[in-house]
Amino acid sequence: MKYYIGIDPGKSGGVAILKDGVSIYDIFPIPIAGDEIDISSLHAKLEIESMDAEVVVYIEKVGAMPKQGVTSMFSFGFTTGAIHAVAACLGYPRYLVTPQAWKKKVLVGTAKDKNAAIDWCRRAFPEESLLATERSRKCHDGMADALCIATYAYIMDPLGPRPS
């Protein structure tokens, strides 16, 4: 069994885990406790308890945004670093992928924006909810991006996409 984890970092980001590239094992927003990432919760959610499981993690490569404040950039960097640390502690290989790279492979023929990712996810995984909570009214774009990144990981698997 192989698990492909896609992560859109940041407090409004998301995590998606594909099992064998074709079924969703889990999808959720980045866990937050107070004003910071909930590291122990993220660790628990990413830990895959299967002896024969192979796990690969693709994290969106992010950088500073123009006109973003120093405090928010520090917080964003901390969150991104914590995500990398959790994956490393679990012993998972990590790869960085730029938004342009995963969008080019996954969102072919679309506007390649947040709505395109949500629309693609709805078509590819119609049974899956992209709502962060039961009370949410609109789809969580961080979860949609994470699912697209996990799909990119599956597409880019060096052993090639394999049927389950």
- Pairing mode of beta strands 32-33, 23-29: unpaired
Alpha-carbon span 99 to 40, nearest angstrom: 27
One-character DSSP codes across 5-64: EEEE-STT-EEEEEETTTEEEEEEEPPEETTEE-HHHHHHHH----TT-EEEEEEE----
Longest dimension (CA), the chain: 46
Is residue 125's pLDDT more than 80?
Answer: yes
Cβ(91)–Cβ(47) below 8 Å? no
Q: 164 pLDDT band (50/70/90 cuts)?
A: very low
What is the mean predicted confidence (pLDDT) over 5-31?
94
Q: Which residue has the tokens 């074709």?
A: 22
DSSP 8-state symbol, 97: E
Is residue 158's pLDDT more than 80?
Answer: no
Q: Output the pLDDT for position 145.
A: 97
Q: Output the pLDDT for position 160.
A: 57
Is residue 92's pLDDT more than 80?
Answer: yes
Supply the angle between the helices 70-89 and 39-46 in degrees, to the nearest 10.
Answer: 40
Q: For the chain, which domains are there?
A: 2-155 (3.30.420.10)
Is residue 136's pLDDT more than 70?
Answer: yes
Q: Which two tokens stand for residue 32?
A: 């937050």
What is the mean predicted confidence (pLDDT) over 88-108?
95
Alpha-carbon span 21 to 106, nearest angstrom: 13
**Nearest CA-CA partner of 28 in 47, 50, 6:** 6
